[in-house]
Amino acid sequence: MKVAVILTLTLTIVSAKVPSIKLNTGYEMPQIGLGTWQATGDPVKQAVKDALKIGYRHIDTAWIYKNEKEVGEAIHEQIGAGILKREDLFITTKVWPKDAKTAKKSLETVHHSLQQLNVTYLDLVLVHRPADNYTEVYKGLEEAVGQKLVRSIGISNFNKAQIDSLKKTWKMKPAVNQIEIHPTLNQDDTVNHCNDLGIAVTGYSPLGTGKLIKDPTLAAIGKKHNKSAAQVALRWQIERHLITIPKSVTKKYIQEDFEIFDFTLTKDEVKTIHDMHA
């Protein structure tokens, strides 16, 4: 097994339970967030409200998800209820290159997201995928930082070659690369490359889109810690110093996913999980 080289990142505690990773922009990003892919309307609104009440301080959305309005409503309702302040929260969204073909259109999409979420700034905006025009989209995000609309920018679904291609034109290094990561897809090559460049990594679909919640290897490890297979899979990402964004609209599972900071995996357990890579 080739074990991923761990990027030396400053970890701090953003609440009693949740550590964060210090990005190359100097901002703190909580290591766990609520993913909202394929969740819309009232279910996603309630999920965000539940997550914030439970203690999540990182919400991940995207223009293409068509749920920014509901996510924003949930955030402001919980701010109004005194659950948190805007400055306590890390909001990530993404620009879809197919619908933002130029730097100007990319910047317009950022403005649209700000309006939908009803906030004055975004903590992180990503180029959602490496379409042919991703350098132009990224230029728009750099301009958004210059206009103080966005604190950090990054990329999503980029591999090593695509990162190196973008490197030729970027003026600002990406703070984050968000890619699919779970025990059967450890993404060592891309994670190592990002570590070498000082780019933090967020792993989406950390439970393999639900396929790993009853995995016997993860369940056996979880039994030793009185934890579920899902909690073990998420904890594995935390042990790798990655950011993870499990998605659920069910309060029980949102709560369960959050309860991963009261145990640690042994080196042997981490290796066993790592070796599940297909």
Q: Is 87 helix (H, G, I), strand (E, B) or coil?
A: helix
Q: Give the Cα separation of 90 and 76 in Å (integer).
A: 13
Q: Is 180 helix (H, G, I), strand (E, B) or coil?
A: strand
Q: Give the Cα separation of 193 and 271 in Å (integer).
A: 20
Residue 138 CB neighbours (<10 A): 25
Q: Is 192 helix (H, G, I), strand (E, B) or coil?
A: helix
Q: φ and ψ at 273, to 5 degrees? A: -65, -45
Among residues 27, 56, 65, 121, which one is catalytic?
Answer: 65
Residue 65 annotated as catalytic = yes
Binding residues for substrate: 128
Q: What is the dihedral of CA 228, 38, 188, 224, to 10 degrees?
A: 0
Taking every pair of C-alpha atoms in the chain, what is the biggest distance, in angstroms? 53
- Structure-block tokens of residue 240: 């790798």
Provide the phi-psi class of 132: left if phi over 0, else alpha when psi is between -120 and 50, else beta.
alpha
- Structure-block tokens of residue 251: 């309060």
Q: Give the Cα separation of 27 and 263 in Å (integer).
A: 26
Q: φ and ψ at 115, to 5 degrees? A: -65, -45
Let me know if 20 is exposed, middle or buried by CB neighbors in 10 A (0-12, 13-18, 19+). buried
Active-site residue numbers?
65
